[in-house]
Amino acid sequence: MIALPNECFFKIFNNLWTDNKSLFSCLFVNREWCRIIVPILWNEPNFRFRNIKLIKVLLLSLNVEEQALLIPFKINLPNFPKPLFEYTNYVTSVDFYLYDGIRNWLFHHRYKVGSELEYGVKCSLIALLLRTSNRSVSKDPLPKYDSDFFTP
């Protein structure tokens, strides 16, 4: 049996970029598929950022300086091992869904939403994305109701 080149798999999986369920299922087939799919999932994770699990992954990826931004807020960062991949290497854009995800994560962990803590987490995660992304990270246009995405 002839194996398909990785480029073919990339094109196939790239056509599924909005189908999270299928892509997540394919992640577990083998390591090669996983290496192909992770960059697709994290390339433009915008609407996925609403999920508090992704915010947790981002918080686990913070370095010491980025964590230090959160010390004044006495936030309890997740105490788990670092993620398997440096997922943020693949991020190319950030939009208001990151803001929604931060609010969801804070609400889930019973922190006050709309506080300086929210701004601190936002700054830490933006610093992480700017530090780790191998590509230029763009800020997608934000709706008028959320024009304060990068301000306190």
Q: Specify whether 35 is located in the same domain as 53.
A: no
Rg (CA), the chain: 17
Average pLDDT over residues 1-30: 90
Average pLDDT over residues 27-46: 89
Q: Specify whether 142 is located in the same domain as 118.
A: yes
Decide if pLDDT at 33 tops 90.
Answer: yes
Q: Specify whether 32 is located in the same domain as 48.
A: no
**Contact in structure between 149 and 99 (CB atoms under 8 Å):** yes
Residues, the chain, total?
152
Decide if pLDDT at 74 tops 90.
Answer: no
Q: Specify whether 92 is located in the same domain as 140.
A: yes
Query: What is the rounded average pLDDT for all residues in the chain?
Result: 82
Q: How confident is the model at residue 140 (pLDDT cuts 50, 70, 90)?
A: low
User: Dihedrals φ, ψ of 118, to 5°?
Assistant: -60, -45
Q: Specify whether 96 is located in the same domain as 49.
A: yes
In a domain, 151, yes or no: no
Q: Specify whether 107 is located in the same domain as 61.
A: yes
Name the residue range of residue 2's domain. Answer: 1-43
pTM (2 d.p.): 0.77
Q: How confident is the model at residue 136 (pLDDT cuts 50, 70, 90)?
A: low
Q: Specify whether 103 is located in the same domain as 123.
A: yes
